[in-house]
Amino acid sequence: MDADNHVVRLCVWGMEAEGRGENAAARGLFWQAWEGARDDDEACIAAHYVARHQETPGETLRWNQECLDRADRVGDERVSGFYASGGDQPPDGGG
């Protein structure tokens, strides 16, 4: 991931907020990342973090699925870490 990317920066700041126990601030930063995503790669990253702050398991699942759907659309090594098997993409290679 590109540390200079605006979505990545927002997510890093969100993780730092989580570490300080500032969950509302983290949620807001992750949501800003989602709203600011310009492509499927950025949306994949943001959805992964948005999923962490959902109130129900169903909403968490929905956002995790959004993350994977966006990863499938990207279909290259940038998103390989979002797949549960540690990097294997779907058999058809994604999107």
End-to-end CA distance of the chain: 20
How buried is 46 (Cβ within 10 angstroms: 0-12 exposed, 13-18 middle, 19+ buried)? buried
Work out how many domains the chain is built from and give that number.
1
Query: Model confidence over 18-53: pLDDT tens digits?
Result: 999 999 999 999 999 999 999 999 999 999 999 999
Q: Is 72 inside a domain boundary?
A: yes
Per residue in 7-19, pLDDT (tens digit) is 999 999 999 999 9
Q: Is 86 a member of any domain? A: no
User: Which residue do the tokens 């549960």 mark?
Assistant: 84
For residue 25, the one-letter residue type is A
Which residue segment(s) compose the domain that 48 sits in?
A: 6-76
Q: Could you give the CA distance from residue 80 to residue 23 in angstroms, rounded to a whole number?
A: 27
